[in-house]
């Protein structure tokens, strides 16, 4: 028997060493990825609400409105992911942690970092897996969320660059109720991401 076992182990060792050091995110199932995204969106919603309160207390009303609009958007993403999770026969699960709140500047930096990760790493990885699985509903909800995160990152970047001039200012932000796309200006006709008519947009001030 030993003669047969040794060559098998040698083959196994060769195969194992050819694998990447860290398991790629795509190794997880689309259902697991949706749960991770649901958890992330649920935590982002709670965190941005806390950041909004902090901004208000610092006299950063415009930043407070931006965080409130983004919080609404993340809530929409969580609800959209939850629908797909349920359609796959599972129950959405999130562990919402107590947000770590710092100064508004630091909160904006943390938010920009989180959005950039979702835009560049998390959602692209999850989308790759969903495409591999041919899961159309998952592709749609992940794609719509990613498109909104791109806008969130842009808005946080702008807020950081213009933080001093934003102080004392007020503004309304517009959120698509279907996909969470967020902007400082109302779209001309429809949401550029989900094509929802502008008449249905939410105004957050
Ligand atoms: Fe989101
Ligand atoms: Fe976001």
Q: What is the CATH number of the domain that holds 67?
A: 1.20.1260.10
**Ligand 1 (single-atom ion) residues, CB below 5 Å:** 41, 74, 77, 145
| Residue 110 belongs to some domain of the structure | yes
Q: Which ligand is nearest to the CA of 180?
A: 1
Instruction: Tell me the pTM.
Output: 0.87
| Total tally of structural domains belonging to the chain | 1
C-alpha dist (Å) from residue 144 to 57, 106, 171, 178, 191: 32, 27, 25, 9, 11
The answer to whether position 143 is within a domain reads: yes
DSSP tag of 162: T
Reading the chain (205 residues) residue by residue, the pLDDT tens digits are 333 333 333 333 333 334 444 445 557 999 999 999 999 999 999 999 999 999 999 999 999 999 999 999 999 999 999 999 999 999 999 999 999 999 999 999 999 999 999 999 999 999 999 999 999 999 999 999 999 999 999 999 999 999 999 999 999 999 999 999 999 999 999 999 999 999 999 999 9
Strand-strand pairing, 202-204 and 182-183: unpaired
- Determine the distance separating the centroid of ligand 1 and the alpha carbon of 84, expressed in angstroms: 15
């Amino acid at each position: 028997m030993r003669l047969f076992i040794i060559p098998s182990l040698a083959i196994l060792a060769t195969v194992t060493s050819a694998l990447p050091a860290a398991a790629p995110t795509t190794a997880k199932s689309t259902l697991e990825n949706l749960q991770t995204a649901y958890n992330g969106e649920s935590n982002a919603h709670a965190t941005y609400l806390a950041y909004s309160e902090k901004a208000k207390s610092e006299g950063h009303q415009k930043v407070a409105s931006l965080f409130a609009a983004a919080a609404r958007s993340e809530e929409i993403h969580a609800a959209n992911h939850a629908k797909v999770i349920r359609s796959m026969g599972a129950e959405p699960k999130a562990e919402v942690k107590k947000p770590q709140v710092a100064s508004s500047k630091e909160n904006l930096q943390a938010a920009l970092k989180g959005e950039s990760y979702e835009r560049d790493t998390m959602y692209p990885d999850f989308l790759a897996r969903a495409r591999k699985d041919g899961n159309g509903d998952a592709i749609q909800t992940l794609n719509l969320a990613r498109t909104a995160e791109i806008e969130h990152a842009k808005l946080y970047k702008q807020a950081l660059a213009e933080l001093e001039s934003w102080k004392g200012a007020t503004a309304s932000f517009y959120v698509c109720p279907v996909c969470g796309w967020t902007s400082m200006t109302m779209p001309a006709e429809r949401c550029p991401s989900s094509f929802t008519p502008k008449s249905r947009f939410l105004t957050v001030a």
